[in-house]
Chains A and B, each alone.
Chain A
Amino acid sequence: MPTKSYKKYISLFTFVAPAFILYAVFLLIPTISGMVYSFTDWNGLNRNYDFIGFGNFVEALTEDPDFVGSLLFTLKYVVFMVVLQNVFALLLAVFIESRRKTKGFFRTIFFMPNMISTIISAFMWTFVFAQVLPQLAEKTALTFLDQAWIGDPKVSFFSILTVSLWNGVGYMMIIYLAGLQGVPQSLKEAARIDGANAFQTFRNVTLPMITHAITICFFLTLNGAFKVFEVVYGLTGGGPGRSTQVITMNIYEEAFSNNFRYGYASAKSVILFIIILIFTFIQIQVMKRREVEA
């Protein structure tokens, strides 16, 4: 008997080893070592460093206005993105699902931007914001198009949202479409016969049937929005100044601008990780409860 279980582990080991080794080297160990270094004052060069407890964390959250600013900006972005991305995606999915002949066409068009790399999307929109819209405003009566779409942080927040939505809505739309296809036609018809209008049918029949898709999409949008980097990098670069800097860019700047505060930058990374974990955990808890009720 011991030889059999011994054999079982050898076989498990040989099958899992290739994946596990690469995973350990490039994901597991960096995750753990980042956490360890976040408690130190290591500068990334010296062999010696000291453990300084929560010092880095306290400093980041209380003495680093740039970091706190980027954190707040990211939170604002997350709130807008989670709501808008899901509302748009669900609306599109419901509308497209109701078409017969043009369903495939609209699905193709609305999903297409999602195929294009986020950074390339940001560059394309930079062209639209910086060149096309001002010219349109000049040539037509649409003067409201003449804005500092990228230069003014108040306006560029919405430019950033626009590009993020343009790039991301299609993905959620596909998940919602798949969810909608799982709603039996007979249920909707029964509701209609009982006198429900289109909105009532949607509210009381369709929506409860797709709660699982909603949970998934909220999870994905929440996670993705906290990690926003490319759109902002491509559009505003975090500027002007640091007015549109998001948390990932702040970490990037701290880590790769030769500040030599490796431990401090790691602490910021860990803060990001913990924030995402907390928000995700709350979201899953709340929505799972709803799923059960529904």
Chain B
Amino acid sequence: MRQNKASSILITVILSIGAAISFFPIYLAIINSFKTQGEMFKSFISLPTKLHFNNYADAFNQINLLNSTVNSIVISVIGIAGIVFCAALAGYKLSRTSGKISSFIFFLFIASMLVPFHSIMIPLTRMAKALSVQGSTYGLAIIYIGLGVNMAIFLYHGFVKSIPRELEEAAQIDGCNEYQTFFKIIFPLLVPITVTISILDFLWIWNDFLLPLLMLTDTSNYTLILSTNTLFGEYNKEWSLILAALVLTAIPVIIIYSFFQRFIMHGIAEGAVKG
């Protein structure tokens, strides 16, 4: 029993050290973002003597934070709404329709989940140019719908199986047509999986770097991540400014994380088990 206690303490010590290392870069970014450049180079790990908010004000203006945040929100919201709408419709119908055509379409969606983004980025960029959706935030949001529906359809498809068919039959007897049945009866029942999908897609779209880099050309359209990337390139040595920008970029996801932690973790576990 004593050995048990000792190993238990050892595990706690290991976890604590690991947690400290894990949190170290975030801690460093936060404390140094409140220091002046001079104070920072005296010591990176000491706490700031006085909170300087200047870095934040500068970063805020340099990356046009308000504008970039609005862009990121617009792209995420349209992208998620589009994915949920399109995928719920398709996932539901594909799950309820038997036959070869339905199975084949479902297979097409699922198989494409294996295609790495880097293998399609070249033709995708050309396609976006050809359709003149390149360089627009709305265009980018629509591309996210096209790239994101496959996984969402997969999750909806599985979830719909757990909903009894009798509900639809009852609604149809009551005079609902197919679309009314879907929107009034089925869609409300899909809320749990819709929450999962929305959170996973939010994290994907909000944090994505390469697709916006390829699609957005004008700085006024930049997402938060892209603006920070530009700032990093331009102000190579001004670490206090860069760190403030990094913290500002990370804050929205950390807030969402603190509120929806359970949903996020549940969503990952659930998404993984079904995949």
Contacts and interface: CB of A to CB of B under 8 A. Distances in A.
Contacts of B53: none
Interface centre among A198, A216, A219, A220 (most CB of B within 10 A): A216
B119 A124 contact: no
B18 A116 contact: no
A198 B7 contact: yes
B197 interface: no
B254 A22 contact: no
Interface in A25-42: 25-31, 33-34, 37
Contact of A27 (B41, B101, B115, B257): B115
Contacts of B105: 16, 20
A12 B100 CA distance: 12
Given A19-B149, A118-B209, A226-B116, A174 B268 contact: yes
Contacts of B272: 175, 178, 213, 216-217, 220
A143 to B, nearest CB: 17
Contact of A139 (B43, B123, B228): B43
A251 B92 contact: no
B149 A22 contact: yes
Contact of A34 (B123, B150, B232): B123
Contacts of B210: 229-230
Contacts of A175: 268-269, 272-273
Contact of A99 (B11, B115, B257): B11
A54 interface: no
Given A15-B90, A120-B228, A8 B97 contact: yes
A108 B261 contact: yes
Contacts of A265: 122
Given A99-B12, A132-B45, A22 B142 contact: yes
A269 B118 CA distance: 7
A291 B26 CA distance: 39
A262 B121 CA distance: 12
Contact of B273 (A30, A37, A98, A216): A216
A25 B28 contact: no
Given A19-B90, A23-B109, A120-B228, A266 B11 contact: no
B122 A112 contact: no
B229 A16 contact: no
What secondary structure prevails in chain A residues at the interface with B? helix
Contacts of B159: none
B22 A18 contact: no
Interface string B221-232: 000010011001
B116 A28 contact: no
B165 to A, nearest CB: 15
Interface residues of A, number: 89
A69 B126 CA distance: 28
B205 to A, nearest CB: 11
Contacts of A123: 228, 232, 242, 246
Given A95-B14, A166-B22, A26 B118 contact: no
A226 to B, nearest CB: 7
B22 A112 contact: yes
B189 interface: no
B265 interface: yes
What secondary structure prevails in chain B residues at the interface with A? helix
Nearest to A171: B268
B253 A248 contact: no
Interface string A256-294: 100000100110011011001100100000000000000
A127 B242 contact: yes
A194 to B, nearest CB: 17
B127 A26 contact: yes
B19 A110 contact: yes
Nearest to B268: A174
Contacts of B180: none
A119 interface: yes
Nearest to B249: A120
A103 B265 CA distance: 14
Contacts of B131: 25
A57 interface: no
B28 to A, nearest CB: 6
A9 B101 contact: yes
Contact of A30 (B89, B123, B225, B250): B123
16 contacts: A12-B93, A12-B97, A16-B89, A18-B89, A22-B149, A30-B124, A30-B127, A98-B8, A102-B12, A106-B19, A112-B254, A174-B268, A216-B275, A217-B272, A233-B209, A269-B119
- Nearest 5 interchain pairs by C-beta: A26-B146, A15-B93, A117-B207, A178-B269, A30-B123
Interface of A: 8-9, 11-12, 15-16, 18-20, 22-23, 25-31, 33-34, 37, 44, 92, 95-96, 98-99, 102, 106-113, 115-121, 123-125, 127-128, 131-132, 135-136, 139, 166, 171, 174-175, 177-178, 198, 212-213, 216-217, 219-220, 223, 226-227, 229-230, 233-234, 247-248, 251-252, 255-256, 262, 265-266, 269-270, 272-273, 276-277, 280
